[in-house]
Structure 1
């Protein structure tokens, strides 16, 4: 589906490399405030005292040697995707290039009431509440007769694989800072894997289905970085692996499609 060169660019995008410098002294009055009032719901949020365009910040959320980082925005929500436990939170102010100086460091104990709620939220990973209203309306329309999470997932999965196609030209030109534009993808119905999985997650979360965007590798092409989704089956209390990008390709080729993929064929690197 994609060239090795382009996939390396996507790796840089999906796993941005930053250097967080240890400050000699953490600023007493940082310009970023951390709101911990939603820990039980699975996220922290930020507010900026000053919103100078020339100043950039990053938040790094770590647990058990795994880290996720996001650009800090005013009112941003950042999920705890590594389950319950103790997290280390660090916020850095950009110095130059990919170097950041720590302005806030904190340890937080998290106990989420229902860990699936993390994957329903609209946050900086999947900001579905701010997506184009026509996309949210379409998701509601597609699932109006669906009763279970899996029924809803199948309805949206079938719509996407039958109506969207992989854009090889776009893949050849994609840059490392690429961010899906779902309004454009929804209109043109052509895109790359990151478009597919983001649209799937946005649609499903908007109709109440806990959904992850997962990034890693698939066994049939182990050197190729890939992205897919997992949806929560409330009946079995298990996560089901689906792959709309792969299935859209099969659909176009007139080949048989199996909705649920074998999780053992996928190697997870990050989940959002």
Structure 2
């Protein structure tokens, strides 16, 4: 990624040279140092004589004007006219100095309304305000404020802050927080050049004394952020604390389509592009690098260099827990399809038997309206399981099962291919990857719900309870469920011929419609078995030369085979389904099964 600094260097152009006076050239270099050198003028001989004469004159004038340094004021609550002694012309009654405006400020007829005297006494914040009469030719409509804390930095926070205050209708003003708590701060106000946007001139400099110990920091917006109309509604403070993640939310120009979020702590960094929709954005940013202060930058696109970003808004987040985490890995398709994952925000969470996956889809993203579900695949020790997450009103929020016992799971999130083609398989594409650690004490892969097998559904549980009521052994329970499915389901020849598979195919759908193909028979059978407390699994393979699915259930210490589809009837030579119950395909002998069925694997 290429990043261009907001301002490479600043150069203060010297004021116009006045005849008969020596001049000091002042240049602000990249290290922030003022370099001054008086030019050649009168010889030292004449200079010394002139100084002596001037001193004598000033002493005389001072003696003459001493009683003239009285100013008439009205005492409060009285009509009596009194005289009070006035301080030096450059000081107020508290001995503070008048803040001096530089030559360039006078050229622009710029005036500083607040503050006017230094040092400024403040409690947590102070206000800068003023006017600029000649604004029509300014290169940019901003006052640059640079604040430097004069003590040692606290809490790992930087001791400087830069802010750009908009100039509107000749006025500027803003309340600024003193970000390092109690102590002295040096404040520099700079005015923009009239031609070049990256040049600023010193307007005034003064000291602020903060009497408050509170650490409160403003979000610092760069000039580029102001131009892009970037504004964070959350967080509103430039220094916040969190134990896991920080939500960012805000607005920007509608022409901006993406922002870059960058997280830094020491030499560690992480970044991600986030999508902007109709000028609005929101995202959860994980705190990855352990306890301490993280710098968070929301960067805006560089209008002069495509694909690059420039400084935008900067804030600091203190991670209160000493936990380091890995980021979620995103593919390019994540942003393209408008996916916004809210849970998890980082990789490496710990969970029990299940884990929540939630988020939303940008309604304006390609295929957003057609995306009715997302796909999640879990993987542990070479075993994989697949789950579908329904999408409603562009949101998804569901739990996936960690069915393979305790340990580390790799979890991948996918979006479906959007197509009108009818086929017997689904294609999907990865958008995110993360890990989850399960603390579950058991491996319940054959009892937990799975894709299309909603064994935890009340509807399934009620029917299962009715079917096994009165059965005294696990085998009797399994036989009762086999009989129900084989006798009540009808093979769907139209679905078979048209390859009309759908992600919503499931046990509940089969229970309600009482029709389907082999996978639908299997979905319902396994859901009823698991609901009855019988471990069962989905077997895939081939039968009669075609892809086929059947069931294995754990009974009396062994895996009992059943094929409720073949037990339901058969397809005639004319291509119609003939309904006929066949009990032979409940626990068939291998001599019968091996003639027609070839097992290739287990599906979770």
Equivalent residue runs for 1:97-136 within 5 Å: 100=429, 102-106=431-435, 108=436, 113-115=441-443, 117-130=444-457, 133=459, 135-136=460-461
Note the C-alpha offset of 1:149: 2.6
**Residue 410 of structure 2 aligns with which residue?**
88
Higher strand proportion (structure 1 or 2)? 2
Q: Is the 8 A contact 1:59 1:71 kept in 2?
A: yes
Deviates more, 1:159-168 or 1:93-102: 93-102
Q: CA RMSD in A?
A: 3.9
Aligned to 1:144: 469
Q: CA deviation at 1:175?
A: 1.9
Residue pair 1:36, 1:45 contacting (<8 A) in 2 also: no
> 1: distance between equivalents of 2:416 and 2:508?
30
Change (3 A) 1:64 1:47: same
Shift of 1:253: 4.9
Secondary structure class of the residue paired with 1:226 = strand
With normalisation by structure 1, the TM-score equals: 0.67
> Equivalent residue for 2:341?
31
Counterpart CA distance in 2 for 1:122 and 1:249 is 28
Do the aligned partners of residues 51 and 232 (structure 1) sit closer, same or farther apart at CA in structure 2, a change above 3 Å counting? farther
Q: Is the 8 A contact 1:47 1:76 kept in 2?
A: yes
Greater relative contact order, per chain length (Cα 8 Å cut-off, separation 6+): 1
Distance 1:105 1:60 in 2: 11
Residue 230 (1) aligns with residue 562 (2): no
CA distance in 2, matches of 1:23, 1:247: 46
Matching residue of 1:14: none
Q: Is the aligned partner of 1:190 residue 2:515?
A: yes
| Residue equivalent to 2:175 | none
User: 1:158-213 CA distances to partner (integer Å, 9 max, x unpaired)?
Assistant: 12223333232332133243533655644553321122111112222222222222
CA distance in 1: counterparts of 2:586 and 2:541, whole angstroms: 18
Gaps of 5+ in 2: 1-328, 391-395, 420-426, 571-577
Pair 1:111–1:269, CA change in 2 (3 A): farther
CA displacement at 1:157 relative to structure 2:
0.5
TM-score normalised by structure 2 residue count:
0.34
Q: CA deviation at 1:152?
A: 1.0
Helix, strand or coil for the counterpart of 1:247?
coil
Distance in 2 between residues matched to 1:171 and 1:99, nearest whole Å: 22
Shift of 1:82: 5.5
Specify the SS of the correspondent of 1:118.
coil
Q: Which residue of 2 aligns with 1:260?
A: 587
Stretches of structure 1 lacking an aligned partner (at least 5 in a row): 1-20
For the residues of structure 1 that align with 2:565 and 2:538, how far apart are their CA atoms?
Answer: 12
Cα separation, 2, equivalents of 1:158 and 1:188: 17
Deviation digits for residues 87-129 of structure 1 (CA, Å, limit 9, x no counterpart): 32223567988664543322x55575332x3332234442233
**Pick from 384, 391, 398: which aligns with 1:76?**
398
Structure 2: how far apart are the matches of 1:67 and 1:194?
18
Deviations 1:56-89 (A, max 9, x none): 6432323455544434454433344556665322
Q: Secondary structure at the match of 1:120?
A: coil
Q: Larger Rg: 1 or 2?
A: 2
Q: How far, CA to CA, are the matches of 1:92 and 1:103 in structure 2?
A: 7
Give the C-alpha shift of residue 246 in structure 1.
Answer: 1.3
1:256–1:139: structure 2 CA closer, same or farther, 3 Å change rule? closer
**Distance 1:146-1:210 versus aligned 2 partners, 3 A rule:** same
Quick one: structure 1 residues 95 and 103, their matched pair in 2 at CA, closer, same or farther if it must change by over 3 Å? farther
In structure 2, C-alpha distance between the alignment counterparts of 1:177 and 1:61, rounded to whole Å: 21
1:165 aligns with 2:165: no
Q: How far apart, CA to CA, are the structure 1 residues paired with 2:507 and 2:386?
A: 22
Aligned length: 237
1:217 to 541, 545, 548: 541
User: What is the alpha-carbon distance in structure 2 between the residues aligned to residue 93 and residue 184 of structure 1?
Assistant: 23
